[in-house]
Amino acid sequence: MRLGKATPVHDPRTLLLANYIKTGLPPAPAQYSYATDIGATSWGMMKNDHIGDCTCAAAGHLIMEWTDDNGNMVTPSDQDIVAAYSAVTGYNPDTGANDTGAVELKVLKYWRKNGIAGHKITAFAAVEPQNDNHVMQGVYLFGGCYIGLALPKTAQTQAVWSVPPGGATGDGAPGSWGGHAVPVVGYDADGLTVITWGAAKRMTWSFWNTYCDESYVIISPDFVSNKPAKNGFDLAALEQDLKEITTAA
């Protein structure tokens, strides 16, 4: 299996989820999951078993989840995902050159401007990596979160990703294995469910709080939901701020 998430890059213009959650927003349900009807073998590796394109494979898996939720699942082809990875990084699929992974923020900006597998996103907003309530709101309201993990070597053999008994040191140190991008598609009291290397994977909340180094919610036309309006999320303000940013850029 390959990793491929580069060290986080932070743009001060990036919208922050916290700015658009109105006072009094009802809490997210205690547990919620999407894509429960997608078969264990249906997700696909999207070439992340051979190249470091996890940042784009995670986007492909979110497209699958969103369109599945709307009753007409679209599965991006491996070629679509590799094409996005190549556009962002300069990766050459013929020679293997420049297979150095990608910055999540660059992938998100490319996805919004150009689309991946013909699917554009409207906007994205950063979530505080260790804010459990906001990641639950993000999953519930927008059909998932796009996150980055600084994986420890101990995660290589764990059935459920968890902080090792010795803590976050040595082989348990953040990033001792490398950076990895995954989508969060569900959560409950025990932890979160992500999609990685073509399958669902569980992680504990303590693992999330220890190893997640970036997280984003994504607003996509593929995920049709009126929950933000009902629950007090200020989507109109977010879209207006995005227009101002892109106009000034």
Give me the pLDDT at residue 230, please: 52
Mean pLDDT of 155-169: 97
- Count of alpha carbons within 13 Å of 158, Cβ hemisphere only? 18
Give me the pLDDT at residue 129, please: 77
Q: Is the pLDDT of residue 247 over 90?
A: no
0.85 exceeded by pTM: yes
In the chain, where the domains are located: 17-242
Give me the pLDDT at residue 248, please: 45
Q: Is the pLDDT of residue 103 over 80?
A: yes
Q: What is the pLDDT of residues 185-215, one digit of tens each?
A: 999 999 999 999 999 999 999 999 999 999 9
Identify whether the C-beta of residue 89 lies closer than 8 Å to the C-beta of residue 78.
no
The one-letter amino acid code at 247 reads T
Q: Residue 154 and residue 173: Cα distance in Å, rounded?
A: 9
Q: Counting runs of H as helices and runs of E as strands, what totals does the chain give?
A: 7, 8
* Predicted confidence band of residue 237 (pLDDT cuts 50, 70, 90): confident
Q: Residue 142 and residue 217: Cα distance in Å, rounded?
A: 7
Q: Is the pLDDT of residue 91 over 90?
A: yes
Q: What is the pLDDT of residues 29-75, one digit of tens each?
A: 999 999 999 998 899 999 999 999 999 999 999 999 999 998 899 99
Q: Is the pLDDT of residue 249 over 50?
A: no
Q: Residue 88 and residue 61: Cα distance in Å, rounded?
A: 18
Identify whether the C-beta of residue 177 lies closer than 8 Å to the C-beta of residue 203.
no
Q: Residue 36 and residue 100: Cα distance in Å, rounded?
A: 32
Q: What is the pLDDT of residues 12-27, one digit of tens each?
A: 888 888 887 766 677 8
**CATH for the 17-242 domain, from 3.40.50.300, 3.90.70.10, 1.10.30.50, 3.90.1010.10:** 3.90.70.10
Identify whether the C-beta of residue 195 lies closer than 8 Å to the C-beta of residue 185.
yes
Give me the pLDDT at residue 153, please: 98
Identify whether the C-beta of residue 176 lies closer than 8 Å to the C-beta of residue 21.
no
* Predicted confidence band of residue 246 (pLDDT cuts 50, 70, 90): low
Give me the pLDDT at residue 241, please: 73
Give me the pLDDT at residue 240, please: 74
